[in-house]
Structures are given as structure tokens and as C-alpha cells.
Structure 1
Amino acid sequence: MGEEAQLSDKDTKATMGIEDTRGGKVSPDSQNLRPSVFHSIKFFLLCHSLLQLVQLMISGYLKSSISTVEKRFGLSSQTSGLLVAFNEVGNTALIVFVSYFGSRVHRPRLIGCGAILVALGALLMSLPHFISEPYRYDRTSPVDTPQDFKASLCLPMTSALASTLSNSSCSSYTEAQHLALVGIMFTAQTLLGVGGVPIQPFGISYIDDFAHDSNSPLYLGILFAVTMMGPGLAYGLGGFILRLYVDIDRMPEGGISLTSKDPRWVGAWWLGFLISAGAMALAATPYFFFPRKMPKEKNELHFRRRVLAIISKKEDSLSEQSPRETPEKKDGLARVAPDLTVIQFIKVFPRVLLRTLRHPIFLLVVLSQVCMSSMAAGMATFLPKFLERQFSITASYANMLIGCFSAPSAIAGIILGGVLVKRLHLCPMRCSALCLLGMLFCLLLSLPLFFMGCPTHQIAGIIHQPGTRRGLELFPGCMEPCSCPSDDFNPVCDPSTHVEYLTPCHAGCTNRVVQEALDKSQVFYTNCSCVAGGGPVQAGSCDSACSHLVLPFMFLVCLGVVMACVTHTPSFMLILRYLEVGVQAARQPIREEASDARVMAWMPSPVIHGSAIDTTCVHWAQTCGRRAVCRYYDHDLLRNRFVGLQFFFKTGSLACFALVLAILRQQDKEEGTKVTCSGLQQQLLASGPEKKPEESTV
């Protein structure tokens, strides 16, 4: 407001493209002056909505393809969770500087530069595909023959051939190369976090500064609504892209014999990053043409000038009447200043921070948001992998389910919470009650998830169902003449006993038969010494008997998401209504503290969920002597620990809201007592000045 007061009338009218006459009319010459489209806050809103949409699509795309990246580069879930969390490292390191000291820069250009960094980070994420060797899903097959042809069979030469190829594989793909590829992805994730730092804070502040006060909430609502579609588009893009083979740009001679249902299938994960990088570069282009300061929306500058004049007159009259109160009133005027100097901020921030931390309601609400963000981070990162492993569905289908149901459920929950707060005119106590009910229903809906899942397949030599004989003990010594390679993986299934073998060699099979059909061909292995009757066994993992439960499971998950997101708006209303911070610029520390709490949840939560998933693995792949990706999980343990972590965070959020409601009820009782005492005093001191009951700190 101080800067605008110094603007001359001529400059103000020039920026508005309007020149007033004495009669209050617009001159004819000014009607021909049409401002550029880049001087429209509505066009900026459109550009920024698209930009944040693409930004969230990039960050969400890695989560949609996390299981595919694990297969391709031999990563554990803990490592992939750490990779996802690295997106927040650069964001956490720079968000404070951008939020507090970045208002003096050219915000649109800085947003554009950040978007370019995000595009470069997305390109860097796809780089490991182009500098690594082609994906070979069967390491025992010779290079000059089509893969999976007579591979993994029980032949006398299998042992020598597997040993030779294993050594050559380790020599061509060393540990140093693996670390370099993983390091590139970690660097790309950090760059994505750094580039995303100025996008949201500067965009929101730019819209809030130059939009009409009555339009600013509407614009921000549109921005958030459009942005929320980003994760849904990311999972939808992942569902489409992962149907394509990873080496679609360099297919081996003779083609491949895999289908997307094969556990060795790896989709074209890198293609989504290229598409997202191109979209981000296009969305960043308009920001280099927006002005540093654009004209306020219609009639707003005139209104603010009138407000400044009234405040100035009031300040002058108060200074004449009571000179001693002038500094205090001047400080009150400073409290509505849009930003502070560095020295003023350093002086103000410690007091604001200490006062904020002493507020129990603020701490409890933020802690509940940390729990909900931790729950959301774990679900967004590993829910596709959980569905893929638990219900034996493809990665593409899992992403399509999440993109079509989970993301719209989150949007619906947030809108429902906002509508309830507005229509019912909820007071703070009722807002906390609404948050408590939402988390309670969310917690109850997660209880059936512990019992909705598929049992673990019976894997010969690894996992056997209780009460059944081990698959390899049916024929003792059947594998001894085969000398099967330990690092080979080409699963086959015995349909009669529903027993799965790691390779046809582990089943003792010596022949391979391909049955051609109209739509597809099926591969069978015969003469299997470890299978009753000699086979045949079918290529691929055994089909799950309960894959139909995936839709009811997702239905309950989506209902829980709706109930959890209902608490979004009322929880923020609790923060805004219960924090009366004196300095206007100190509202930014409050927003950033809540943002930092979210960041602190999104950084450790994927690592915690990934570590919990790794503890349920029963068979690890080995690459050059190191543990790589997990091939088989204990489904019951996986379900109990993944859903259990979600249940834990939901319980923490529920407990926080229960404490908030208890504190509010206690404060309401105390305020009622104060009002009653004040009324008695008014009756006893009827001759004294009339006193109003003390208002609540709310």
C-alpha cells in the first residue's frame, strides 16, 4: 500500500489504460488503448493453472511407475522411496528464502525459470534409459538369438552357458555404472524440487496482489481445483505408457515374447518424462512476457487510494489529539504492510514463531496434517505397487484404477468439506467436530482392508502353503542334473497343483512348445521331471484366484480418501481463526510452517513405507552379487504392514482432532463462566460504565 501511495496519478492511469476526465468519463482516446493479454490477471491464472497441473503431473508420474523403475534398475522399495523423497530436498532448502525474500524479484520470470528447471529435471530423469544397455529380461539367452528362446531349460549345457553369460553381464554392467544411473535419477529429483520452489508461492502471491479482492478467493479456488487434477493425469499417463515395452525405440531382432501380464515386463517409463518435460517447457514460455507488476483489476486502485486517504487523515487527527500514541498507531499501520525489510523480518519472526508454537490448537492441527500427509505420501507412492503385487494385476491397470478413482475422490472430499463449512456456517468447535467425524469414518473404512487380499502363491522351494508338501520335495533330486542358474527368472505355473516355479529349469522341463491362437500365442514347457505327469506347465505366474477383490478394495480406499479430504478445509479454518498474528507479513510464516510440516511428512513417509514393504520380501533377485529388486512378497505380511501404516497415521490424526475438540470445549466453558461473571458485575455496578462481556480469543 505504501508503494502504491507513491505512484503518481499519471502512472496509475497509464498502467490501467484509463484516463479520467473531470466529469468522471473516459476520454475517447483511451478507449482505443487495449492492454496486452499479458497484463490480464485472468490470463495469468490460466497459465499458472496449467503450469501447476503439469508440475504435479511430473512429480506424480514417478510414483505411478515406481515398480517399473525398480524392475528396470534393480532397486529396493526403500531406495525407490528415498528417490521419491529427494524431490522435497531442494524444496525444503530454498522455500524459506523464496517465500520471505523473493517478493522483490520479477516473480513471473522466476516462475518461468523454475519451470524450465523442472523440465530439465524431467529430461534428466529419462536419461538413464538412453545411456544404459537394452533391457534383457532373460540373462541366460544369447545375444544373437531372440530372447526367451530355449532359455532356462533343463539342458546339460545350461550350467556352463549360464555361468559364462552371468560373468559377461557383470562385466558389462558394473556396480559403478549402476550407481551412476541411480545418481542421475537422484540428481534429477533434486532438480525437480529446486525448480518447483518458486512456482506455487509466487503464483499465489501474484494472483492475490493484482486480482480484485472479491475475485481473489475465486481465482485461487480455480487454481487449486485445476491443480488437483495433476496427480490423476499422472496415473492416467502411467497407465497408458506402461503398456508399451521399455525398449520400444530399440527393439531386439526377432521381437520379444513377453506380454504386459508377465512379471518380467517393463514398460516405457521414460516416455512419460519426455512428454511431461515438453508440456512443462510450453507452459513456462508465457511467464517471460508477464510484467513484474500488472494493473490491479477494475476499480481496485481507486478503492485502495481512497482507503489510503482515509487512513492518512485518521492518522493525522490521532497524532494531533494524542501525540504519545502516534508510534503505536504507526506500528498499527505497519501491520498491514504487504512486506517487510530483512531487518524488520528478523526482528518480528522470532516473536511470531514463539507465539505460534505456544498455541496448542495450532500445533495439534499441524500435527494432524503431518499424519494425513504421511498417509497420503505412502499411498500415492506405493499403492500402485501394492495393488500390482497383492491382486496380481498389471502396472498399467493399477495406475488406471488410481487415476480414475483416487484423485477424483480427493477433489470431491475437499469440495465437500468446503461446502459444509460454508453452508452450515461452522464455528471453530464444529469445524473440529467435522474433522473428528471425517477421520473416524476414514479409520473405520480402513478396517476391512486388512482382510481383503490374496494369499501368497505357492512357490516351489521358496513358499509353500500350510498343510501342503513343498513343490520341490515331490521329486527329490529332480533338479540336480539341470544345474539351474540361481539368478535366472522365467516363472512357470503348474495349473494342476497351482505351484509356481522360478524357471522351467527349476521344474525340470526340457522342451518348449508354442501354441498359436487367433489373438495371441501361449508358451508351454513339457517333459518336466519335477511336475507330476511331466507337465505341461504354462509360461508366466499363476493367476490369482481373488483378483476380483481389487475393485471393492479400491472402493473402500476411495471412500476413505473422501472422508480424509473432508477435513482439509475445516482444519485450515481452525488455523486461520485461532491465530491472531499482529503483523500482516507474519501470515506467511504460518503458511510456510504448515507447508514445512507437509514437507516433513512427504520426505520420511515414502522411505518408511518402502522399508516396511522390503521386510515382507521372501525372494530377492541378485545382480552381480548384490541384492536387487524383490521378486516375491508374503502377501499377508505386505497387506498387514502397508494397511497398518495407513491405520497408524489415521489414528494419530484422529487423536489430534480429539484433543483439539476437547481444548475448544474447555475454552468454551471458561468463556461462558467469564460472560456470566461479567453479567453479575454489570448488575452490581449499575451506576458504573456499561461493560461488554469479554470476547473469546477466537
Structure 2
Amino acid sequence: MVEINLPKEKNHDADDKLLWNGTYKIIRDQPYGSPVDESHDAVDGSNDAVNKMIETMVENRDIECGISCFRGSLLQKFANKKAFVIAYGICSLMLTASAGYYIAIGSTLEKIFKISSVTAALISNGNNIGLLITCNVLSYCANKGHKPRWMAAGLFIMTISCCLFFLTHIIYGPGQDLKHLTNNDHSDLSIKTIMLHQRIASLCHDKEFNTSTLHYDHSKDGNIGAQMILFTARFLHGISDAVLFSLGLAYMDDNIKKSKIPILIGISYLIKMAGPSIGFQFSAITLSKFILLNSTPSITPNDPRWLGAWWLGWIVFSVIIFIMACIMMCFPKTLPRAEARRLLALRINQSNDNNNDKNNNNNDTNKEVKEVVSFWSTIEAFIRLAKNKTLVCINIASVLFVFGYCPFWYHVVKYIEVVYQLSASVSASETGNVSLWCGGLGIILSGIIVATFKPSARYLAGFNAFSCGIACLGILSYTFINCAANENQIIQMKAVTSNSGRLLTCTDSCTCEFSKYNPICTEDNRTFVSPCHAGCQHFTTGEDGSITYTKCSCVNSKDQGLPSEIYDNHLPSPTERLGTAKPGACKVDCTDQKDLFMIVFSVITFIVSAGAVPSFLLSLRCVDKRDKALTMGVNLAIIGLFALMISPIIFARIFDDTCLFWGKTNTSSGNCWLYDSGKLRYRFNLISAAFVGVGTFFYMAVWYLVRDLKIFDDEKNRAVRF
């Protein structure tokens, strides 16, 4: 029997078995040391009792907001769950937004630092490596410590990561290729000379032409130092992710009522979905700005050579995350109300020694805890999980699905750029909209439906199989959504392009092996990868600074006047009339095909997101209660090792294998400037659909195996099943 009454007067009789909390008295009957049950009605329902208990907890630094001398009543007002949830939500949003931002600027980084898609994927994997390593370390170090300060440390690490990205731009700059793509009136004679030499180098030269006289410095092309800095930044990003997300959920579980935890977990899932979308949208703004903010570019964002101000976003992220780190470190080790509930619950449970059933349950719980910390019991737990057919099928299906669908998280922006000839900023913006609205709506609706109708395990597994099958069919449909105008243009460019030089007889006298990607559009509306590949022997500069390439042996045209200043590479002028060309690729319109792709992509994103909740519930319910935590850890490790780390590299290799024109450097092939979009479209989507399709069959096996699995406690009492 437990009483909580407001006394008329205090009685401090030593023989009276009463504990005073300041105003309330709680009768104690149970010996000290019994487990605390914070879900007791007397604790959850007595806000006054909790408030009075808080008033008595003086000189307890564990519940005080602030750090060192920065404490006080003003800060203490924020020592509550609402303030923490808001701060944690902003921190999570910034970390996931920065992850989406990095994905969106991936193709820009490849162009600037002249790295292949595979190399870019390996750099990106630094995040997964840091995440996996840190998760193991945290289980031993940070779990029992001051969690908000550990999270603040993780945020400070993320600030360093953002600064490293910006530092890479400061050290290596935009590259020398960008200098001749501006209309600035350079006062520096050396810069004007470099620009002139680069334009001359792009022309058709005979084999005896000495390119060393152009004085172009390749020393910064494909610099390994830049790659190491980027990898380190991604590694630190992974550490920050592991610290914030694991300890953040643990802190909420320790300090917030258990009945409210599912809601908060749902909010965290929604934030993780919204964060990358915000990152995509933010990248659309920064990438639309030229990488040299103080320069006027001579090309538009639709030009494949355009490089946006990718570094600008990291300044914003670093400032916001640093501020949030300072705020996070001020939260107490334990929230005051949580500590008050714990003390009240301790006193209440000490009065319940007559509850034998509860004591037996506690003894069983203690045995389970001892079993977990035992080495051999852990081995036995792994064996139990390995023998669980349902869990094995779920894990295999998850790995296969994530492996096949992962490319549409990591490479979808670049895929849209290549196949539908859109700029990086537009691709990132449209992808962000789909992820935010369709993905978020799918998670919210599935959570509401599952909570309302409480479907059986078979319905949940059936929906997973259905969503996986729909995703497979949708990915297959991508192979038929092509832009014919773009692919026809690439076929024409492919005819005069190879990694070893030229193929057409009209460029027999030209040596184009080391020509840089400098697309031109001829007057007969054909695109060539460089003036050399079109056989252009001269270029002229108009009064407005515009460039016109002339005497192009692969272009037939009428006679053209040659205005202003003319630069000749000393090749003999042919007797036939030759055509002209303008810088930049010929425009193609793929709007209709892109819109159709985005519609299908939106539907698939919605359905796939809706399957997240059923998959999570099945994974938890198909194992013993004592194995749930281990199950989540094993699932995360398996997906991380066999899907998230390998899949981006495999599909990046597909991009590299379909490359038609590499930007060569002194030490490597550099980055790819032109892809065979038709070949890429088939290989990318068919391989992805194959993995997702096989995963569908394993989800069908799960549907068969969960016929007797109970998901909800009241499932047998419901007359109507969903």
C-alpha cells in the first residue's frame, strides 16, 4: 500500500517510517535497493510531487544547466524535455542536411579535384567507417557518462569536418580550368597569358606542335592531398553521426516518459528524412552561384563545365553546428524532472516488498542483464539470432534492398545530370522536393495506419514484399525513360571521341589526345567535346569578349567574316570553306522525360518510405525481448558492411565504365566529363532492379514465416483483423 498525502504538519519522528520530500510524505515499506519502476501511476500522475521533489534537490550538479561558472536560474529554465527535444532536433537536422548537401555536390567535387566516381565513393565511405568504429567505442565509453557533453563533443567534431571542407577550397581553389571561363578584365598579365594559352591548346594542332610552350601547370590536378582532406572530413562526419544519434536517443529514453518515446522516435525518423531534403535544397542555392563569387562567368549553370560555390554551404553549417554544440553542452547530465521521478519511484518501490510477482520478474530481469554482459551468453545470443529463420530472411532482404536502392540515395543527382542534361543545382532541388514531401508523407501515413488498425504480422510482411516489388518495377521502368535528343547528341560526340584520340578523317592532321573537355556547338547544331575534335584551327575574339572558333574542318558552312583579333595555330588553311562553332554544348530539351522520371521516382519514394515502419516492427517482434538491442546492432552492422559501404562503389564503377571522355592529369585519368547516357541508363537500372527483385523474394519468405508472429499485445482479442 502506498500513500502520497499533503500533511498538515511535519513530524520528524525517527520511528515513523516516513520519508520527507519537502511537503509530501511517502510511506516506505520496501527495503532500499529494489529496482525503480518509473512508470508507476503515483509518479507519472503526481506533477506536484515531482515539483516539490525538485525543490529539495539542491547542490546537485547533475541536474543543473550550464558549465563551469556559466550557470544560474536563467539557464535552469531550459532544463526540460521540450528544450532538449528542440535542440536535439535542430542538431539532427543539421547533420542530416549536411549529409544530403555532400551528396548533392558530389559531381562538382569530382570536376574540381579531377577524381573518378569510384574514388569519390571511397572518399564518401569515410562516413560509414567512422560511424561503425565509433558505435563500438561508444558502447564502452560514453553510455554511462555525461551524454549531452559527449553529444556536444560530437558536434564540435562535425564543426571541424565542415571547416576541413572549406579549407580544401582555400588550399586548392577552383582549379586553373576555370580561369578562362570568366569575363573578368584581368589586370594580371600572367592570368591573361594562361587564358590565351589554354584557348590555343584546345585547337587542332599538328603532331609537331610543342604543347610545353603553353606553360600549363598540372601539378594541382588530381592532388592526393585534397582527397585525403575530404576523406578525413567524411570520417569525422561519421563519428559525429554515431555520437549524436545513438546518445541522443539514449538520453531521451533515460529522461522522458516511456509512453512518449515512440512519438519522439517517429519525429526523429521524420527529421532524418527532412534533413537531406533541406541539404539538397540548400545545395541548389549554392551551386547556382559561381565558385568564384567575385568573378563573372562566361558560361551558364547549364553548361557541364559550370562549378558552383560548393564551399559556401560548409561555412553556414559550421557556424550553426558550433552554436548548437555550445547549447548542447549546457544541458544537465539528467533532467530535473526525470531525476525527481526516479527518486520518487525509488521510494515508492521500497514500499512494495509484498509484491512477490514483481520481485520474481525483477530477478528474471537481473538474470537477463547478467546474461548480456557475459561473454558466453553473448555468443549464445548470436547463435539464437543465426537460427532465427525469420530474422535471417529479414536481414538478407534488407541488405539486398538497400544494396539495390542505395544508388538512388547516393547517385540520383548525378544520374539526372547525365541522363537528362540538367544542372547540378536543378537536379538537387528536384530530388530534395521528392525526398521531403513523398518520403515524409510515406512515413507519417504508414505510422498512423499501423497505430490505428494494428495489422497482423502477415499484413506487415506482405506490404514489405509489395513495396519492394513496386520499387523493382519502377526501377525497371527507368530504363525506358530516356532523352532521345541527349543520346543522339552523345552518339555524334562519341563518333569523334575516344580516350586515345580522334576517329574522323576530318581531324587526321590534329592531335587531340590531351585536349581538355571544352564542348562547342557548331553552326549545323552538332556538339563536339573540344575545338580540336571538330578540327577548328583558329579562334576569334569579338569586341564584347565572345569567342568564335573558325576553320573547323568537320563543319561545312558558308564563308564567315573574321572580326577583331585572330589566333592561328599555323596549320595550312584548307582550300574548302570551313564552318564555325561557339563555346558550349548545343542545347537539348529533356524536360518531359525528366518530369516523367520524377513522377515515377516520387511514387517509389513514397511506397519505400511507407515500408520503414513495418520492417522495423517485424525485426523487433521476431526475436526474444532480451535480444532486441543486439538485433538492432546486428542489423545496422550487416547493412552498413554489406550494402552501404559496397553498393556506392559498385554503382560508381558503372559510371566510370560508361565514361567517354576523361579529363586526364599527370598522375591519373582524372574525372569523367562525358558519359554514354544510354549505356549508363541500362546498366545502372537493371543491376539495381536485380538486387531489389531478389530482395522481394526474401520478403515473401518472411511473409510465410511470420504466420504465427504476434505484433501487438491485444491482437488475439480483436474481432476484426486488418
Partner of 2:191: helix, strand, or coil? coil
**What is the CA distance between 1:18 and its match in structure 2?**
7.3
Matched with 2:554 is: 530
**TM-score under structure 2 length normalisation:** 0.78
Shift of 1:213: 2.0
Q: Which residue of 2 aligns with 1:287?
A: 328
Contact 2:534 2:553 (C-alpha < 8 Å) held by counterparts: no
Secondary structure of the residue that 1:618 maps to in structure 2? strand
Check the 8 A contact 1:439/1:564 in 2, yes or no.
Answer: yes
Q: Residue 21 of structure 1 aligns with which residue?
A: 24
**1:174 to partner: Cα distance:** 7.0
Are positions 1:562 and 2:606 aligned together? yes
Structure 2 contact 204–532 (Cα < 8 Å) conserved: no
Q: Is the 8 A contact 1:460 1:499 kept in 2?
A: no
Cα distance change on mapping 1:587 and 1:551 into 2, 3 Å: same
1 CA distance for matches of 2:611 and 2:306? 40
Alignment size in residue pairs: 621
* Further displaced range: 199-208 or 347-356: 347-356
Deviation at 1:46, TM superposition (A): 0.8
Distance, in Å, in 2 between the alignment partners of 1:115 and 1:96 is 19
Partner of 1:222: 267
| 2:119 pairs with 1:87 | no
Distance 1:174 1:239, change over 3 A: closer
> For residues 25-81 of structure 1, what are the alpha-carbon distances to aligned partners after superposition, in whole Å with 9 as ceiling and x for unaligned?
779999999892342022111111111111112222211111000000111111111
Instruction: State which of 285, 298, 312 in structure 2 corresponds to 1:271.
Output: 312
CA displacement, residues 280-324 of structure 1 (integer Å, 9 cap, x when unaligned): 111111221111122345985477447734764334x899xxxxx
1:66-117 deviations in Å (ceiling 9; x for gaps): 1000000111111111111111112111212313553211111001001111
Partner of 1:211: 256
Counterpart code for 1:89? I
Confirm whether residue 130 of structure 1 aligns to residue 174 of structure 2: no
Which amino acid in structure 1 is aligned with residue 324 of structure 2? A
Matched, 1:616 2:658: yes
Amino acid corresponding to residue 478 of structure 2 in structure 1: L
Q: Give the aligned residue type for 1:354.
A: I
Structure 2, gaps ≥5 residues long: 1-11, 13-19, 27-45, 57-72, 182-189, 558-577, 710-715, 717-722
Q: How do 1:376-415 and structure 2 match up within 5 A?
A: 376-415=405-444
Choose the corresponding residue for 1:571, options 615, 628, 633.
615
2:691 is matched with 649
What does 1:234-249 align with in structure 2 at a 5 Å threshold?
234-248=279-293
Q: Secondary structure at 1:199's aligned position in 2?
A: helix
Which one-letter code corresponds to 1:334 in the other structure?
A: N
Report the counterpart of residue 3 of structure 1 in structure 2.
Answer: none
Question: Which of 637, 653, 663 lines up with 2:679 in the alignment?
Answer: 637
Contact persistence 1:159–1:484 (CA under 8 A): no
- Please give the per-residue CA displacement for 1:413-447, whole angstroms capped at 9, x wherever unaligned: 22222222222211111111111122222222222
Partners of 2:50 and 2:120 in 1: CA distance: 64
Deviation sequence 1:369-407 (CA, Å, 0-9, x none) = 223333443212211111101111111110011111123
Structure 1: tracts of 5 or more residues without a match: 1-9, 11-16, 320-327, 669-691, 693-698
1:248-397 aligned at under 5 Å gives the runs: 248=293, 251=295, 255-297=296-338, 300-301=341-342, 304-305=345-346, 308-309=349-350, 312-315=353-356, 331-334=363-366, 344-397=373-426
Q: Distance in 1 between matches of 2:365 and 2:533?
A: 82
| Cα gap change, 1:577 to 1:479, in 2 (>3 Å) | same
Distance apart, 1:489 and its partner CA: 2.3
Query: Is 1:500 aligned with 2:528?
Result: yes
Query: How far apart are the structure 2 equivalents of 1:155 and 1:661?
Result: 64
Q: Normalising by structure 1, what TM-score?
A: 0.80
**Cα gap change, 1:111 to 1:260, in 2 (>3 Å):** same
Does 2:635 correspond to 1:594? yes
On the 8 A contact 2:279/2:432 being kept in 1, the answer is: yes
* Alpha-carbon spacing, 1:553–1:92, altered in 2? closer, same or farther (3 Å): same
* 1:463 counterpart residue number: 494
Partner SS, residue 536 of structure 1: strand
**Identity among equivalent pairs (%):** 21
1: CA distance, partners of 2:345 / 2:401: 40
Secondary structure of 1:204's partner? helix
Distance (Å, rounded) in 1 between the aligned partners of 2:107 and 2:144: 43
Letter in 1 for 2:530: L
Instruction: Assess, with a 3 A threshold, how the Cα gap between structure 1 residues 193 and 221 changes in structure 2: closer, same or farther.
Output: same
Q: 1:19–1:26: 8 Å Cα contact kept in structure 2? A: no
Other structure's SS at 1:525 match:
strand
Contact 1:511 1:525 in 2 (8 A): yes
Q: Is the 8 A contact 2:405 2:692 kept in 1?
A: no
User: What is the rounded CA distance, in whole Å, between the counterparts of 1:138 and 1:387 in structure 2?
Assistant: 24
> Is contact 2:472–2:689 with CA below 8 Å preserved after alignment?
yes
Any conservation in 2 of the 1:368–1:656 contact (CA below 8 Å)? yes
Look up the SS of the partner of 2:536 in the other structure.
coil
Output the CA distance in 2 between the equivalents of 1:309 and 1:429: 43
The question of whether the paired residues in 1 share the 8 Å contact of 2:154 and 2:240 is answered with: yes
Note the aligned Cα RMSD (angstroms): 3.6
Among 95, 100, 115, the alignment partner of 1:55 is 95
Structure 1: which 4+ aligned runs deviate by more than 6 Å?
23-35, 138-142, 155-159
